[in-house]
A and B are shown apart, each in its own frame.
Chain A
Protein backbone atom coordinates (compact mmCIF):
# COMPACT_ATOMS: atom_id res chain seq x y z
CA UNK A 1 0.00 0.00 0.00
CA UNK A 2 2.79 2.35 1.05
CA UNK A 3 4.65 1.64 -2.13
CA UNK A 4 1.63 2.55 -4.24
CA UNK A 5 1.22 5.82 -2.38
CA UNK A 6 4.92 6.57 -2.87
CA UNK A 7 4.77 5.76 -6.56
CA UNK A 8 1.65 7.86 -7.04
CA UNK A 9 3.22 10.83 -5.23
CA UNK A 10 6.32 10.57 -7.36
CA UNK A 11 4.26 10.38 -10.54
CA UNK A 12 2.23 13.38 -9.46
CA UNK A 13 5.39 15.33 -8.79
CA UNK A 14 6.76 14.51 -12.25
CA UNK A 15 3.42 15.44 -13.83
CA UNK A 16 3.29 18.70 -11.91
CA UNK A 17 6.78 19.58 -13.03
CA UNK A 18 5.85 18.82 -16.62
CA UNK A 19 2.69 20.87 -16.28
CA UNK A 20 4.65 23.76 -14.82
CA UNK A 21 7.06 23.64 -17.73
CA UNK A 22 4.16 23.51 -20.14
CA UNK A 23 2.36 26.42 -18.52
CA UNK A 24 5.69 28.35 -18.57
CA UNK A 25 5.98 27.76 -22.32
CA UNK A 26 2.39 28.86 -22.81
CA UNK A 27 3.06 31.97 -20.76
CA UNK A 28 6.12 32.72 -22.92
CA UNK A 29 4.12 32.26 -26.10
CA UNK A 30 1.43 34.52 -24.69
CA UNK A 31 3.99 37.21 -23.94
CA UNK A 32 5.43 36.86 -27.40
CA UNK A 33 2.01 37.19 -29.02
CA UNK A 34 1.26 40.28 -26.96
CA UNK A 35 4.64 41.68 -27.92
CA UNK A 36 3.91 41.14 -31.62
CA UNK A 37 0.61 42.99 -31.19
CA UNK A 38 2.44 45.93 -29.59
CA UNK A 39 5.02 45.88 -32.37
CA UNK A 40 2.29 46.26 -34.95
CA UNK A 41 0.96 49.26 -33.02
CA UNK A 42 4.41 50.79 -32.91
CA UNK A 43 4.95 50.20 -36.64
CA UNK A 44 1.94 52.43 -37.30
CA UNK A 45 3.43 55.18 -35.13
CA UNK A 46 6.77 54.91 -36.94
CA UNK A 47 5.09 55.09 -40.33
CA UNK A 48 3.61 58.45 -39.38
CA UNK A 49 6.78 60.01 -38.01
CA UNK A 50 8.21 62.53 -40.50
CA UNK A 51 11.79 62.30 -39.23
CA UNK A 52 11.84 58.51 -39.37
CA UNK A 53 10.23 58.32 -42.79
CA UNK A 54 12.61 60.92 -44.24
CA UNK A 55 15.65 59.19 -42.77
CA UNK A 56 14.56 55.80 -44.08
CA UNK A 57 13.87 57.32 -47.50
CA UNK A 58 17.41 58.70 -47.63
CA UNK A 59 18.80 55.20 -47.36
CA UNK A 60 22.34 54.11 -46.65
CA UNK A 61 24.10 52.19 -43.93
CA UNK A 62 24.90 55.41 -42.15
CA UNK A 63 22.60 58.39 -42.31
CA UNK A 64 23.37 61.78 -40.84
CA UNK A 65 20.46 64.14 -40.37
CA UNK A 66 21.44 67.71 -39.64
CA UNK A 67 18.84 70.25 -38.64
CA UNK A 68 18.91 73.38 -40.82
CA UNK A 69 19.43 75.44 -37.67
CA UNK A 70 22.72 73.66 -36.97
CA UNK A 71 23.91 74.08 -40.56
CA UNK A 72 23.11 77.77 -40.35
CA UNK A 73 24.87 78.03 -36.99
CA UNK A 74 28.05 76.49 -38.36
CA UNK A 75 28.06 78.56 -41.55
CA UNK A 76 27.35 81.70 -39.54
CA UNK A 77 30.16 80.93 -37.14
CA UNK A 78 32.58 80.10 -39.94
CA UNK A 79 31.77 83.25 -41.88
CA UNK A 80 32.14 85.34 -38.76
CA UNK A 81 35.45 83.74 -37.75
CA UNK A 82 36.91 83.68 -41.20
CA UNK A 83 36.27 87.30 -41.94
CA UNK A 84 36.91 88.49 -38.44
CA UNK A 85 40.55 89.33 -38.92
CA UNK A 86 41.61 89.26 -42.54
CA UNK A 87 44.87 90.98 -43.36
CA UNK A 88 44.85 92.46 -46.85
CA UNK A 89 48.02 93.41 -48.66
CA UNK A 90 46.95 94.54 -52.09
CA UNK A 91 49.59 95.58 -54.64
CA UNK A 92 47.21 97.88 -56.42
CA UNK A 93 49.08 100.41 -58.51
CA UNK A 94 45.73 102.15 -58.88
CA UNK A 95 45.66 105.48 -60.65
CA UNK A 96 43.58 108.51 -59.79
CA UNK A 97 43.68 111.23 -62.38
CA UNK A 98 42.21 114.71 -62.36
CA UNK A 99 42.83 117.84 -64.43
CA UNK A 100 41.43 121.35 -64.37
CA UNK A 101 41.93 124.48 -66.41
CA UNK A 102 42.71 127.52 -64.29
CA UNK A 103 41.45 130.99 -65.14
CA UNK A 104 43.12 133.97 -63.51
CA UNK A 105 42.24 137.65 -63.51
CA UNK A 106 44.89 139.93 -64.97
CA UNK A 107 45.06 143.53 -66.08
CA UNK A 108 44.14 142.11 -69.49
CA UNK A 109 41.05 140.53 -68.06
CA UNK A 110 40.46 136.88 -67.28
CA UNK A 111 42.86 134.60 -69.08
CA UNK A 112 43.26 130.88 -69.17
CA UNK A 113 46.44 130.55 -67.19
CA UNK A 114 46.92 126.87 -67.73
CA UNK A 115 45.93 123.40 -66.60
CA UNK A 116 46.90 121.63 -63.48
CA UNK A 117 46.96 117.88 -63.53
CA UNK A 118 46.84 115.56 -60.59
CA UNK A 119 47.94 111.95 -60.79
CA UNK A 120 47.86 109.83 -57.71
CA UNK A 121 49.16 106.29 -57.81
CA UNK A 122 48.15 104.12 -54.88
CA UNK A 123 50.94 101.57 -54.84
CA UNK A 124 49.84 99.33 -52.06
CA UNK A 125 47.10 99.09 -49.48
CA UNK A 126 47.41 97.11 -46.33
CA UNK A 127 44.34 96.75 -44.22
CA UNK A 128 42.43 94.66 -41.80
CA UNK A 129 38.95 93.35 -42.50
CA UNK A 130 36.58 92.66 -39.69
CA UNK A 131 33.19 91.04 -40.08
CA UNK A 132 30.03 92.01 -38.30
CA UNK A 133 27.63 89.17 -37.37
CA UNK A 134 26.39 87.55 -40.58
CA UNK A 135 22.87 86.69 -41.58
CA UNK A 136 22.32 83.23 -43.01
CA UNK A 137 19.18 82.02 -44.68
CA UNK A 138 18.16 78.95 -46.63
CA UNK A 139 17.84 79.26 -50.40
CA UNK A 140 16.99 76.91 -53.27
CA UNK A 141 19.50 74.48 -54.78
CA UNK A 142 21.03 73.31 -51.52
CA UNK A 143 22.43 76.71 -50.74
CA UNK A 144 22.57 79.01 -47.78
CA UNK A 145 22.85 82.68 -48.56
CA UNK A 146 25.19 84.67 -46.39
CA UNK A 147 25.08 88.39 -45.94
CA UNK A 148 27.49 90.15 -43.68
CA UNK A 149 28.86 93.64 -43.28
CA UNK A 150 32.64 93.77 -43.44
CA UNK A 151 34.58 96.70 -42.14
CA UNK A 152 37.92 97.61 -43.64
CA UNK A 153 39.85 99.20 -40.87
CA UNK A 154 43.40 100.06 -39.94
CA UNK A 155 44.18 100.44 -43.62
CA UNK A 156 47.23 102.27 -44.81
CA UNK A 157 49.37 102.37 -47.88
CA UNK A 158 51.80 104.23 -50.01
CA UNK A 159 51.06 106.57 -52.88
CA UNK A 160 52.84 108.82 -55.28
CA UNK A 161 51.28 112.19 -55.97
CA UNK A 162 52.29 113.88 -59.15
CA UNK A 163 51.14 117.48 -59.55
CA UNK A 164 51.77 119.22 -62.81
CA UNK A 165 51.15 122.80 -63.85
CA UNK A 166 51.12 123.42 -67.56
CA UNK A 167 50.87 127.15 -68.27
CA UNK A 168 49.28 128.50 -71.44
CA UNK A 169 51.48 130.17 -73.98
CA UNK A 170 50.32 133.72 -73.17
CA UNK A 171 50.51 133.18 -69.48
CA UNK A 172 53.73 131.30 -69.78
CA UNK A 173 55.47 134.59 -70.33
CA UNK A 174 55.11 135.13 -66.64
CA UNK A 175 53.78 131.80 -65.42
CA UNK A 176 56.36 129.07 -65.51
CA UNK A 177 55.47 125.40 -65.61
CA UNK A 178 56.23 123.27 -62.67
CA UNK A 179 56.04 119.65 -61.81
CA UNK A 180 55.97 118.16 -58.33
CA UNK A 181 56.22 114.48 -57.49
CA UNK A 182 55.98 113.26 -53.93
CA UNK A 183 56.02 109.79 -52.48
CA UNK A 184 53.53 109.87 -49.62
CA UNK A 185 51.84 107.75 -47.02
CA UNK A 186 48.12 107.26 -47.20
CA UNK A 187 45.45 105.65 -45.11
CA UNK A 188 42.25 103.87 -45.98
CA UNK A 189 39.03 105.42 -44.83
CA UNK A 190 37.24 102.95 -42.58
CA UNK A 191 34.00 101.90 -44.18
CA UNK A 192 31.49 99.15 -43.91
CA UNK A 193 31.10 96.98 -46.98
CA UNK A 194 28.20 94.61 -47.46
CA UNK A 195 29.39 91.19 -48.57
CA UNK A 196 26.85 88.75 -49.92
CA UNK A 197 27.31 85.26 -51.23
CA UNK A 198 26.29 81.72 -50.56
CA UNK A 199 27.52 78.38 -49.36
CA UNK A 200 26.38 75.41 -51.40
CA UNK A 201 26.04 72.15 -49.55
CA UNK A 202 27.58 69.02 -51.04
CA UNK A 203 27.86 65.43 -49.97
CA UNK A 204 31.62 65.19 -49.51
CA UNK A 205 33.42 61.84 -49.41
CA UNK A 206 33.10 61.50 -45.65
CA UNK A 207 31.01 64.41 -44.56
CA UNK A 208 28.81 67.31 -45.45
CA UNK A 209 30.74 70.10 -47.11
CA UNK A 210 29.81 73.73 -47.69
CA UNK A 211 31.46 75.27 -50.74
CA UNK A 212 31.65 79.06 -50.84
CA UNK A 213 30.10 80.83 -53.79
CA UNK A 214 30.97 84.48 -53.60
CA UNK A 215 30.89 86.13 -57.01
CA UNK A 216 33.83 88.39 -57.87
CA UNK A 217 32.93 91.87 -56.89
CA UNK A 218 34.61 95.22 -56.53
CA UNK A 219 34.37 97.56 -53.61
CA UNK A 220 35.02 101.25 -53.64
CA UNK A 221 37.81 102.08 -51.22
CA UNK A 222 38.38 105.66 -50.23
CA UNK A 223 41.82 106.82 -49.23
CA UNK A 224 43.24 109.78 -47.46
CA UNK A 225 46.74 110.93 -46.73
CA UNK A 226 48.38 111.31 -43.42
CA UNK A 227 48.62 114.80 -41.93
CA UNK A 228 52.36 114.72 -42.54
CA UNK A 229 51.81 113.91 -46.21
CA UNK A 230 49.25 116.67 -46.61
CA UNK A 231 51.72 119.09 -45.09
CA UNK A 232 54.33 118.01 -47.61
CA UNK A 233 51.93 118.59 -50.52
CA UNK A 234 50.93 121.97 -49.16
CA UNK A 235 54.58 123.00 -48.85
CA UNK A 236 55.29 121.84 -52.38
CA UNK A 237 52.43 123.90 -53.80
CA UNK A 238 53.24 126.90 -51.67
CA UNK A 239 56.77 126.80 -52.99
CA UNK A 240 55.30 127.51 -56.41
CA UNK A 241 53.12 130.26 -55.06
CA UNK A 242 55.11 133.21 -56.30
CA UNK A 243 54.71 135.67 -59.12
CA UNK A 244 57.00 133.88 -61.55
CA UNK A 245 54.95 130.74 -61.35
CA UNK A 246 51.54 132.35 -61.40
CA UNK A 247 51.32 131.62 -57.72
CA UNK A 248 48.67 134.27 -57.43
CA UNK A 249 46.31 131.97 -59.22
CA UNK A 250 46.98 128.90 -57.12
CA UNK A 251 45.13 128.77 -53.86
CA UNK A 252 46.73 125.86 -51.94
CA UNK A 253 43.65 125.41 -49.74
CA UNK A 254 41.34 125.06 -52.71
CA UNK A 255 43.75 122.80 -54.49
CA UNK A 256 44.26 120.54 -51.50
CA UNK A 257 40.51 120.29 -51.00
CA UNK A 258 40.11 119.21 -54.61
CA UNK A 259 42.82 116.58 -54.22
CA UNK A 260 41.27 115.34 -51.00
CA UNK A 261 37.81 115.08 -52.57
CA UNK A 262 39.20 113.06 -55.39
CA UNK A 263 41.02 110.68 -53.08
CA UNK A 264 37.94 110.27 -50.93
CA UNK A 265 35.97 109.28 -54.01
CA UNK A 266 38.26 106.29 -53.95
CA UNK A 267 38.95 103.48 -56.33
CA UNK A 268 37.67 100.01 -56.91
CA UNK A 269 39.28 97.00 -55.33
CA UNK A 270 38.33 93.42 -55.99
CA UNK A 271 38.31 91.17 -52.92
CA UNK A 272 40.48 88.12 -53.57
CA UNK A 273 38.51 84.90 -54.03
CA UNK A 274 40.88 83.07 -51.72
CA UNK A 275 39.07 84.80 -48.89
CA UNK A 276 36.56 81.98 -48.75
CA UNK A 277 37.32 78.29 -48.31
CA UNK A 278 35.16 75.16 -48.19
CA UNK A 279 33.91 74.19 -44.78
CA UNK A 280 33.59 70.60 -43.61
CA UNK A 281 30.99 69.81 -41.03
CA UNK A 282 32.20 68.19 -37.84
CA UNK A 283 30.24 64.95 -38.29
CA UNK A 284 32.08 62.41 -40.45
CA UNK A 285 31.65 58.84 -41.59
CA UNK A 286 34.80 56.95 -40.70
CA UNK A 287 36.83 54.58 -42.84
CA UNK A 288 37.60 52.17 -40.02
CA UNK A 289 36.21 50.99 -36.73
CA UNK A 290 37.46 49.02 -33.77
CA UNK A 291 35.57 46.06 -32.40
CA UNK A 292 37.30 45.39 -29.10
CA UNK A 293 40.96 45.29 -30.19
CA UNK A 294 40.18 44.31 -33.77
CA UNK A 295 40.28 46.92 -36.49
CA UNK A 296 37.96 46.75 -39.49
CA UNK A 297 38.63 48.87 -42.58
CA UNK A 298 35.61 50.27 -44.36
CA UNK A 299 34.81 51.55 -47.83
CA UNK A 300 32.46 54.52 -47.78
CA UNK A 301 30.34 55.55 -50.75
CA UNK A 302 28.33 58.71 -50.40
CA UNK A 303 24.74 59.04 -51.53
CA UNK A 304 23.22 62.19 -52.96
CA UNK A 305 22.47 64.92 -50.48
CA UNK A 306 18.82 65.54 -49.75
CA UNK A 307 17.60 68.73 -48.20
CA UNK A 308 14.10 69.04 -46.83
CA UNK A 309 12.54 71.51 -44.42
CA UNK A 310 13.10 68.87 -41.72
CA UNK A 311 16.82 68.28 -42.19
CA UNK A 312 19.83 68.02 -44.43
CA UNK A 313 20.15 64.28 -45.05
CA UNK A 314 23.55 62.80 -45.78
CA UNK A 315 23.69 59.08 -46.44
CA UNK A 316 26.55 56.69 -47.10
CA UNK A 317 26.83 53.04 -48.02
CA UNK A 318 29.53 51.44 -45.95
CA UNK A 319 31.13 48.08 -46.58
CA UNK A 320 33.91 46.21 -44.91
CA UNK A 321 36.98 46.04 -47.08
CA UNK A 322 37.55 42.40 -46.22
CA UNK A 323 34.72 39.97 -46.61
CA UNK A 324 35.74 36.68 -45.05
CA UNK A 325 33.57 33.73 -45.91
CA UNK A 326 32.71 33.36 -42.28
CA UNK A 327 31.38 36.89 -42.22
CA UNK A 328 29.09 36.27 -45.13
CA UNK A 329 27.97 33.01 -43.65
CA UNK A 330 27.45 34.53 -40.25
CA UNK A 331 24.65 36.86 -41.08
CA UNK A 332 22.89 34.30 -43.24
CA UNK A 333 23.15 31.37 -40.89
CA UNK A 334 22.46 33.00 -37.57
CA UNK A 335 18.80 32.75 -36.66
CA UNK A 336 17.20 35.74 -35.08
CA UNK A 337 15.73 35.66 -31.63
CA UNK A 338 12.23 36.97 -31.36
Chain B
Protein backbone atom coordinates (compact mmCIF):
# COMPACT_ATOMS: atom_id res chain seq x y z
CA UNK B 1 0.00 0.00 0.00
CA UNK B 2 1.28 3.39 -0.94
CA UNK B 3 1.88 6.19 1.51
CA UNK B 4 -1.09 7.97 -0.04
CA UNK B 5 -3.32 4.94 0.48
CA UNK B 6 -2.33 4.77 4.16
CA UNK B 7 -3.09 8.38 4.84
CA UNK B 8 -6.51 8.38 3.17
CA UNK B 9 -8.45 6.48 5.86
CA UNK B 10 -6.63 8.37 8.57
CA UNK B 11 -7.54 11.63 6.92
CA UNK B 12 -11.18 10.56 6.69
CA UNK B 13 -11.21 9.69 10.38
CA UNK B 14 -9.50 12.93 11.24
CA UNK B 15 -12.14 14.87 9.35
CA UNK B 16 -14.89 12.95 11.09
CA UNK B 17 -13.32 13.67 14.47
CA UNK B 18 -12.95 17.32 13.67
CA UNK B 19 -16.63 17.47 12.80
CA UNK B 20 -17.72 15.58 15.92
CA UNK B 21 -15.36 17.19 18.41
CA UNK B 22 -17.15 20.54 18.92
CA UNK B 23 -20.43 18.74 19.46
CA UNK B 24 -18.74 16.49 22.00
CA UNK B 25 -17.24 19.52 23.74
CA UNK B 26 -20.65 21.22 23.94
CA UNK B 27 -22.25 18.09 25.33
CA UNK B 28 -19.50 17.64 27.87
CA UNK B 29 -19.74 21.24 29.15
CA UNK B 30 -23.50 21.06 29.56
CA UNK B 31 -23.35 17.61 31.07
CA UNK B 32 -20.70 18.57 33.59
CA UNK B 33 -22.80 21.53 34.74
CA UNK B 34 -25.89 19.37 35.01
CA UNK B 35 -23.84 16.74 36.80
CA UNK B 36 -22.56 19.36 39.27
CA UNK B 37 -26.13 20.49 39.98
CA UNK B 38 -27.36 16.92 40.32
CA UNK B 39 -24.47 16.10 42.66
CA UNK B 40 -25.39 19.02 44.90
CA UNK B 41 -29.02 17.98 44.88
CA UNK B 42 -28.24 14.40 45.71
CA UNK B 43 -25.95 15.53 48.48
CA UNK B 44 -28.57 17.97 49.77
CA UNK B 45 -31.35 15.40 49.66
CA UNK B 46 -29.22 12.95 51.60
CA UNK B 47 -28.71 15.65 54.22
CA UNK B 48 -32.47 16.24 54.44
CA UNK B 49 -33.21 12.52 54.73
CA UNK B 50 -30.59 12.15 57.45
CA UNK B 51 -32.03 15.13 59.35
CA UNK B 52 -35.53 13.69 59.02
CA UNK B 53 -34.31 10.33 60.34
CA UNK B 54 -32.87 12.15 63.36
CA UNK B 55 -36.25 13.82 63.83
CA UNK B 56 -34.72 17.22 63.14
CA UNK B 57 -35.91 18.08 59.66
CA UNK B 58 -36.61 21.61 60.83
CA UNK B 59 -35.06 22.70 64.11
CA UNK B 60 -37.73 25.14 65.25
CA UNK B 61 -37.26 26.27 68.80
CA UNK B 62 -37.94 29.97 68.48
CA UNK B 63 -38.40 31.48 65.03
CA UNK B 64 -38.76 30.06 61.56
CA UNK B 65 -38.40 32.22 58.46
CA UNK B 66 -39.74 30.70 55.25
CA UNK B 67 -38.97 32.37 51.92
CA UNK B 68 -40.57 31.29 48.67
CA UNK B 69 -38.35 30.60 45.67
CA UNK B 70 -40.72 32.64 43.52
CA UNK B 71 -40.04 35.72 45.63
CA UNK B 72 -36.25 35.37 45.41
CA UNK B 73 -36.56 34.70 41.67
CA UNK B 74 -38.73 37.78 41.28
CA UNK B 75 -36.34 39.93 43.28
CA UNK B 76 -33.34 38.87 41.22
CA UNK B 77 -35.34 39.22 38.03
CA UNK B 78 -36.21 42.79 38.97
CA UNK B 79 -32.53 43.68 38.66
CA UNK B 80 -32.24 42.28 35.14
CA UNK B 81 -30.71 42.81 32.72
CA UNK B 82 -27.34 43.79 34.12
CA UNK B 83 -23.73 43.55 33.04
CA UNK B 84 -20.58 42.76 34.91
CA UNK B 85 -16.99 42.49 33.72
CA UNK B 86 -15.31 39.38 35.03
CA UNK B 87 -11.56 39.27 35.68
CA UNK B 88 -11.28 42.52 33.72
CA UNK B 89 -11.64 40.56 30.49
CA UNK B 90 -15.11 39.15 29.96
CA UNK B 91 -18.34 41.08 29.78
CA UNK B 92 -21.27 39.07 31.09
CA UNK B 93 -24.77 40.31 30.44
CA UNK B 94 -27.31 38.47 32.59
CA UNK B 95 -30.80 38.51 31.13
CA UNK B 96 -32.62 35.66 32.85
CA UNK B 97 -32.65 34.25 36.34
CA UNK B 98 -34.17 31.25 37.98
CA UNK B 99 -34.23 30.05 41.54
CA UNK B 100 -35.19 26.65 42.91
CA UNK B 101 -35.29 25.67 46.55
CA UNK B 102 -35.44 21.91 46.27
CA UNK B 103 -33.62 18.86 47.55
CA UNK B 104 -31.70 20.69 50.23
CA UNK B 105 -30.11 22.93 47.64
CA UNK B 106 -30.85 26.55 46.84
CA UNK B 107 -30.11 26.73 43.13
CA UNK B 108 -29.59 30.12 41.56
CA UNK B 109 -29.29 29.98 37.78
CA UNK B 110 -28.32 32.97 35.70
CA UNK B 111 -28.49 32.95 31.90
CA UNK B 112 -27.00 35.48 29.57
CA UNK B 113 -24.28 36.30 27.09
CA UNK B 114 -20.55 36.65 27.38
CA UNK B 115 -18.19 38.62 25.19
CA UNK B 116 -14.68 40.02 25.39
CA UNK B 117 -14.75 43.24 27.37
CA UNK B 118 -12.33 44.95 25.01
CA UNK B 119 -14.26 44.06 21.86
CA UNK B 120 -17.65 44.94 20.53
CA UNK B 121 -20.25 42.33 21.39
CA UNK B 122 -21.13 42.09 17.72
CA UNK B 123 -17.70 40.65 17.03
CA UNK B 124 -18.72 37.52 18.79
CA UNK B 125 -20.39 36.34 21.92
CA UNK B 126 -21.24 33.13 23.70
CA UNK B 127 -24.25 32.04 25.67
CA UNK B 128 -23.46 31.38 29.29
CA UNK B 129 -25.33 29.81 32.15
CA UNK B 130 -23.97 30.19 35.66
CA UNK B 131 -25.17 27.78 38.33
CA UNK B 132 -24.80 28.82 41.95
CA UNK B 133 -25.85 27.46 45.29
CA UNK B 134 -27.35 29.67 47.98
CA UNK B 135 -24.87 28.41 50.46
CA UNK B 136 -24.66 30.53 53.54
CA UNK B 137 -27.59 32.35 55.07
CA UNK B 138 -26.80 34.57 58.02
CA UNK B 139 -27.96 37.67 59.78
CA UNK B 140 -26.05 40.80 59.01
CA UNK B 141 -24.49 41.78 62.34
CA UNK B 142 -25.32 45.46 61.88
CA UNK B 143 -28.67 45.57 60.13
CA UNK B 144 -30.08 42.19 61.18
CA UNK B 145 -31.03 41.53 57.55
CA UNK B 146 -31.17 37.92 56.46
CA UNK B 147 -28.53 37.57 53.78
CA UNK B 148 -27.65 34.69 51.52
CA UNK B 149 -24.36 34.04 49.85
CA UNK B 150 -24.21 32.38 46.46
CA UNK B 151 -21.33 30.08 45.61
CA UNK B 152 -20.86 29.34 41.93
CA UNK B 153 -20.69 25.62 41.27
CA UNK B 154 -20.74 25.34 37.49
CA UNK B 155 -20.55 27.29 34.26
CA UNK B 156 -21.87 26.32 30.88
CA UNK B 157 -20.54 28.40 27.98
CA UNK B 158 -21.90 27.77 24.46
CA UNK B 159 -20.73 29.25 21.23
CA UNK B 160 -23.15 31.22 19.11
CA UNK B 161 -22.49 31.01 15.39
CA UNK B 162 -23.86 33.80 13.29
CA UNK B 163 -25.48 32.42 10.13
CA UNK B 164 -23.74 29.13 10.82
CA UNK B 165 -20.35 30.72 10.43
CA UNK B 166 -17.84 29.72 13.05
CA UNK B 167 -15.91 32.54 14.58
CA UNK B 168 -12.45 32.09 15.96
CA UNK B 169 -13.20 34.86 18.47
CA UNK B 170 -16.15 32.92 19.83
CA UNK B 171 -14.16 29.68 19.86
CA UNK B 172 -11.47 31.47 21.82
CA UNK B 173 -14.01 33.06 24.17
CA UNK B 174 -15.70 29.76 25.02
CA UNK B 175 -12.35 28.10 25.50
CA UNK B 176 -11.12 30.86 27.83
CA UNK B 177 -14.36 31.06 29.82
CA UNK B 178 -14.05 27.36 30.52
CA UNK B 179 -10.73 28.03 32.19
CA UNK B 180 -11.80 30.97 34.38
CA UNK B 181 -12.05 30.19 38.07
CA UNK B 182 -15.70 29.67 39.00
CA UNK B 183 -15.37 32.02 41.96
CA UNK B 184 -14.76 34.85 39.55
CA UNK B 185 -18.40 34.66 38.48
CA UNK B 186 -19.53 35.35 42.04
CA UNK B 187 -19.62 39.03 41.12
CA UNK B 188 -22.83 38.25 39.24
CA UNK B 189 -24.79 37.31 42.36
CA UNK B 190 -22.82 36.56 45.45
CA UNK B 191 -25.06 38.37 47.92
CA UNK B 192 -28.82 38.00 47.95
CA UNK B 193 -30.94 39.49 50.68
CA UNK B 194 -34.08 37.80 51.94
CA UNK B 195 -36.59 40.55 52.83
CA UNK B 196 -36.64 39.74 56.52
CA UNK B 197 -34.94 41.70 59.27
CA UNK B 198 -34.34 40.51 62.80
CA UNK B 199 -33.96 43.54 64.98
CA UNK B 200 -31.47 43.52 67.81
CA UNK B 201 -33.76 45.27 70.22
CA UNK B 202 -37.40 45.64 71.09
CA UNK B 203 -37.90 49.34 71.62
CA UNK B 204 -40.39 50.58 74.14
CA UNK B 205 -41.10 54.27 73.53
CA UNK B 206 -41.15 56.72 76.37
CA UNK B 207 -44.48 57.70 77.89
CA UNK B 208 -45.10 61.20 79.14
CA UNK B 209 -44.92 63.90 80.20
CA UNK B 210 -48.24 63.67 81.98
CA UNK B 211 -49.79 61.57 84.66
CA UNK B 212 -47.58 58.69 83.73
CA UNK B 213 -43.93 58.93 82.85
CA UNK B 214 -42.00 55.95 81.63
CA UNK B 215 -38.51 56.25 80.28
CA UNK B 216 -37.88 54.70 76.88
CA UNK B 217 -36.42 51.26 77.16
CA UNK B 218 -34.81 48.79 74.84
CA UNK B 219 -34.82 45.09 75.35
CA UNK B 220 -31.77 43.49 73.78
CA UNK B 221 -32.60 40.60 71.47
CA UNK B 222 -30.04 38.02 70.50
CA UNK B 223 -30.64 36.31 67.18
CA UNK B 224 -28.58 33.89 65.16
CA UNK B 225 -29.31 31.60 62.26
CA UNK B 226 -29.33 28.05 63.56
CA UNK B 227 -30.22 26.06 60.48
CA UNK B 228 -31.01 26.52 56.80
CA UNK B 229 -32.74 24.06 54.53
CA UNK B 230 -34.19 24.23 51.03
CA UNK B 231 -37.10 22.07 49.97
CA UNK B 232 -40.69 22.22 48.71
CA UNK B 233 -39.89 25.43 46.86
CA UNK B 234 -39.01 27.24 50.07
CA UNK B 235 -35.96 28.29 51.98
CA UNK B 236 -36.44 27.35 55.64
CA UNK B 237 -34.31 29.37 58.03
CA UNK B 238 -34.40 28.50 61.72
CA UNK B 239 -33.37 31.39 63.93
CA UNK B 240 -32.50 31.25 67.60
CA UNK B 241 -33.93 34.30 69.32
CA UNK B 242 -33.74 35.18 72.96
CA UNK B 243 -34.35 38.27 75.05
CA UNK B 244 -32.17 39.37 77.93
CA UNK B 245 -33.83 38.46 81.16
CA UNK B 246 -34.84 41.24 83.49
CA UNK B 247 -33.73 41.15 87.08
CA UNK B 248 -36.89 41.06 89.17
CA UNK B 249 -37.66 44.42 90.68
CA UNK B 250 -37.11 44.60 94.42
CA UNK B 251 -40.26 44.71 96.49
CA UNK B 252 -41.20 47.48 98.85
CA UNK B 253 -39.96 47.48 102.43
CA UNK B 254 -41.93 44.77 104.17
CA UNK B 255 -42.74 46.95 107.19
CA UNK B 256 -44.76 49.36 105.08
CA UNK B 257 -46.06 46.86 102.55
CA UNK B 258 -49.40 45.22 102.82
CA UNK B 259 -51.60 43.36 100.37
CA UNK B 260 -53.84 45.82 98.62
CA UNK B 261 -57.53 45.45 98.61
CA UNK B 262 -58.69 45.31 95.02
CA UNK B 263 -60.61 48.42 94.29
CA UNK B 264 -62.06 47.60 90.93
CA UNK B 265 -63.69 47.16 88.71
CA UNK B 266 -65.87 49.78 90.22
Contact = CB atoms under 8 A, between A and B. Distances in A.
Interface in B99-157: 100, 103, 107, 109, 111, 131, 145
A230 interface: no
Prevailing SS type, chain A contact patch: mixed
Given A78-B204, A286-B197, 8 more contacts: A67-B60, A131-B249, A220-B262, A220-B263, A272-B210, A283-B198, A286-B145, A290-B191
Contacts of A281: 202
B164 interface: no
Interface string A321-338: 011101111110111111
Contacts of B95: 326, 330
B260 A219 contact: yes
Interface in A40-88: 41-42, 45-46, 49, 51-52, 55-56, 60-67, 69-70, 73-74, 77-78, 80-82, 84-88
Contacts of A7: 9-10, 13
Interface string A248-286: 000000000000000000001110101101011111111
Nearest to B249: A130
B231 A46 contact: yes
B71 A70 contact: no
B226 interface: no
Contacts of B265: 215-218
Interface stretch (B72-80, B166-174, B177-185): B72-80
A320 B96 contact: no
A330 B80 contact: yes
Interface in B68-92: 68, 70-71, 73-82
B266 A218 contact: yes
Interface of A: 1-3, 6-7, 10-11, 14, 21, 24-25, 28, 31-32, 35, 38-39, 41-42, 45-46, 49, 51-52, 55-56, 60-67, 69-70, 73-74, 77-78, 80-82, 84-91, 130-133, 151, 153, 189-194, 215-220, 222, 268-270, 272, 274-275, 277, 279-292, 294, 296, 298, 300, 311, 318-320, 322-324, 326-331, 333-338
A190 B131 contact: no
B264 A32 contact: no
14 contacts: A41-B49, A62-B194, A65-B64, A86-B207, A130-B249, A217-B264, A218-B266, A219-B262, A220-B262, A277-B204, A282-B221, A291-B192, A292-B190, A338-B38
